[in-house]
Amino acid sequence: MISRIDHGGRFIACAMMVLSLIVITGCRERTTATTVKNDPFLRSPTHVSYNLEILLSDSSFVRAKILADVGRVYEDLQQTVLVGNVRVAFFRKRSDVIAARLTCDSVVIDDRTRDMVAFGSVVVVSDSTKTTLRTTQLTWTHAVQRVRSDQPVRIETPTEQIDGIGFESDQFLTDYRIFRVRGVHQE
């Protein structure tokens, strides 16, 4: 009988120890998962559109026409992201004549300021001056109607080709400046 009590006491002691461990680990404070602030994979767009067309107007005149495969609107960020075959046509003031065209892989539009940043294979062609700009990133500032880039750029005109880093111009490429010229090739 003594051996039975001894085994039973050990069993109860082991059971109490396991139960204590469960209670101790179960009452531990839980840590929350860490998230990266503004993680693009955790936020969802408010609206998604396919094969879209956006007209930017000033009074009753269309200033630019934007086409893209996919558009995502993030109302909480006041931002619109356009992806896939993005094309922008800039019109002359008070006219339906296209003055310049932009193509790129994607565009991010700040809905507050209407500024745009184009990414990927960015190409701007001025129809009036026959000038072409090539770069990987281009920012268009709506308030001053100018484009700029801090990336390597190539400007091709009918008479020359200029390579450099950094660039600023009006949106029609009639008045441009390259910050660091790396090479000029005369035609």
In 3D space, the residue among 170, 165, 167 whose CA is nearest the CA of residue 182 turns out to be: 165
d(CA 66, CA 85): 10
Residue ranges per domain, the chain? 1-31, 47-186
pTM of whole model > 0.75?
no
pLDDT tens over the chain, length 187 residues: 444 445 556 667 666 665 565 555 555 555 555 556 666 566 788 889 999 998 888 777 888 899 999 999 999 889 999 999 999 998 887 777 888 899 999 999 999 998 999 999 999 999 888 999 999 999 989 888 899 999 999 999 999 999 999 999 987 888 889 999 888 888 7
Q: What was the pLDDT predicted at 149? A: 95
Rounded alpha-carbon distances, angstroms, from residue 5 to 1, 124, 166: 6, 91, 87
Cβ-Cβ contacts under 8 Å for 48 (sequence gap 6 or more): 70, 71, 72, 73
CATH topology of domain 47-186: lipopolysaccharide transport protein A fold (2.60.450)
Token pair listed for 14: 């082991």
Rounded alpha-carbon distances, angstroms, from residue 42 to 37, 71, 78: 9, 18, 17
d(CA 63, CA 139): 17
List strands edge to edge, sheet with 47-58. Answer: 47-58, 61-74, 79-91, 98-110, 116-126, 131-141, 146-156, 160-170, 176-186
